[in-house]
A and B are shown apart, each in its own frame.
Chain A
Amino acid sequence: MRKFGLHFGLLLAVAVILLPPLWVLRTSLVPESLSYSTDLMPAFTTGNYADLFAKNHFGTFYLNSIIVSVGSVLLALPFAATTGYAFARFQTGGRFARFLVLATQMLPPVALVLPAFAILRGVGLTNSLTGLVIVYSALNLPFLSWILMGFFKGIPVDLEWAAMTDGTTAWGAFWRIVLPVSLPGLAAAGVLGFILSWNEFLFALVLSGPRTSTIPVALAALQTSNGVQIGKVSAGVVLAILPLVIASRFIQRFIIQGLTFGSVK
Chain B
Amino acid sequence: MASIELSRVSKLYANGIVGVRDVDLRIEDGEFIIFLGPSGCGKSTLLRTIAGLEGISSGEVRIAGQLVNNVAPRDRNIAVVFQSYALYPHMTVWQNMAFGIKMRGAAAAEIETKVQEAVELLGLTGLLDRKPGALSGGQRQRVALGRAIVRDPQAFLLDEPLSNLDAQLRAEMRLELVKLHRRLGRTTVHVTHDQVEAMTMGDRICIMREGRLIQAGAPLEVYANPADTFVAKFLASPPMNLIAGELVEAGGGALSVKACDEIFPVPDMHRAAYAGYAGKPVIFGVRSEDFYESPQEPHYHPVTVKVVAIEALGPENILIGQLGQTRPIEIAARLTRHFRAAIGSSVTLYVDARPMHLFDVETTKVIARPPLPVTRIAP
Contact = CB atoms under 8 A, between A and B. Distances in A.
Nearest to A260: B133
B32 interface: no
B295 interface: no
Given A156-B84, A169-B72, A265 B137 contact: yes
A168 B137 CA distance: 26
B74 A165 contact: yes
Interface stretch (B85-93, B227-235, B255-263): B85-93
Describe B's contact surface by its main secondary structure: loop
Nearest to A263: B89
A6 interface: no
Contacts, number: 89
A177 B88 contact: yes
Contact of B86 (A168, A169, A264): A264
Interface stretch (B97-105, B342-350, B352-360): B97-105
A163 to B, nearest CB: 7
B88 A168 contact: no
A166 B151 contact: yes
Given A261-B133, A262-B133, A262-B134, A164 B85 contact: no
Residue from A159, A165, A168, A183 with most neighbouring chain B CB atoms (10 Å): A165
Contact of A167 (B80, B103, B133): B103
A165 B132 contact: no
A103 to B, nearest CB: 25
Interface string A174-200: 000100110100000000000000000
A162 interface: yes
B84 A158 contact: yes
Interface string A235-265: 0000000000000000000000000111111
Nearest to A161: B53
B89 A166 contact: no
Given A162-B82, A164-B72, A169-B72, A261 B53 contact: no
Given A262-B132, A262-B135, 9 more contacts: A91-B14, A158-B86, A159-B88, A161-B73, A162-B87, A167-B104, A262-B87, A264-B84, A265-B140
Interface of B: 14, 48, 51-53, 72-74, 76, 78-80, 82-90, 99-100, 103-104, 131-135, 137, 140, 147, 151, 164
A-B pairs, top 5 by smallest CB distance, nearest first, are A262-B133, A167-B103, A263-B89, A264-B84, A158-B86
Interface of A: 91, 156, 158-159, 161-169, 172, 177, 180-181, 183, 260-265
